[in-house]
Amino acid sequence: MRVELYGCYWSDGVVSYSMPQGDKRGNGWEFFDATYDGHWDGELRRGLGQLTDGRTGPDNFKMYHDNDRAQGWVGWRNDSRNQPVEIKFEFDKVREFSAVHIYCNNEFTRGVQVFSQVDTLFSIGGKYYTGEPITYTYMEDKIFETSRNITIKLHHRVGKFVKLRLHFSDRWIMVSEVTFDSGKTINHIQDMYLHRVKTANLYF
């Protein structure tokens, strides 16, 4: 559930995200999305959780967040999947996107680094992601271990669904928060797309 505090209007537009659940690290460390309010079955579907709660994790990923036992980080281990991590966001309406901000851990001495690459894909209906993805490559940093916010320009691409494909550069990727800069598009863009889909179906 999204709550607006102190009269601050939340306008990000995210209504849910879906992704693999996080992984365990050693004894007693579970980098799960523990506050996720959607469907759990190994894959998290149609809910919201730590990635959109407005709070970022501490630089030391083993510290708890605000003393409430919420670690603040969702983490995935490379050797448990051997493929990029995909996170799919659904928005309230078709939107025009200018940027995405991904808050990442970079404790490289503990095997955690910012992703090596992100592919961003867009869809109107959520089934087909057409067009070339926007690919962003991150320059490895093995000097500073502080967490950081990575901003990726999205060049006014349009969609109701956005998929992020995060590529590993080390054993772990840990993400705390994902936010988007976007604006609602005029309704006729969505209507044009739906008309094309209906027209195409007449020929099958």
Q: What is the CATH number of the domain that holds 42?
A: 2.60.120.1190
Residue 82's pLDDT is 81
Q: Does residue 6 fall inside a structural domain?
A: no
Q: Does residue 196 fall inside a structural domain?
A: yes
- Residue 83 clears pLDDT 90, i.e. is over it: yes
At 70, the pLDDT band (50, 70, 90 cuts) reads: low
Specify the range with the lowest mean pLDDT, choosing from 35-44, 101-110, 128-137: 35-44
Residue 62's pLDDT is 80
- Residue 81 clears pLDDT 50, i.e. is over it: yes
At 18, the pLDDT band (50, 70, 90 cuts) reads: very high
At 195, the pLDDT band (50, 70, 90 cuts) reads: very low
Residue 192's pLDDT is 52
How far apart (Å, rounded) are the C-alpha atoms in residues 16 and 46?
5
Q: How many domains does the chain have?
A: 1
46: its two tokens: 């149609």
Q: Does residue 127 fall inside a structural domain?
A: yes
* Average pLDDT for the chain: 86
- Residue 116 clears pLDDT 90, i.e. is over it: yes
Q: Does residue 7 fall inside a structural domain?
A: no
Burial 77-114 (b: 16+ CB within 10 A, else e): bbeeeeebbebbbbbeebbbbeebebbbbbbbebebbb
Asked if 43 and 17 touch (Cβ cutoff 8 Å), the reply is: no
How far apart (Å, rounded) are the C-alpha atoms in residues 135 and 66?
35
Q: Does residue 2 fall inside a structural domain?
A: no
- Residue 156 clears pLDDT 60, i.e. is over it: yes
Residue 164's pLDDT is 98
- Residue 31 clears pLDDT 60, i.e. is over it: yes
145: its two tokens: 């271990």
- Residue 198 clears pLDDT 80, i.e. is over it: no
Q: Does residue 97 fall inside a structural domain?
A: yes
46-56: average pLDDT: 95
- Say which amino acid occupies 122: F
Q: Does residue 8 fall inside a structural domain?
A: no
Q: Does residue 182 fall inside a structural domain?
A: yes
Range of the domain at 106: 14-201
Residue 155's pLDDT is 96
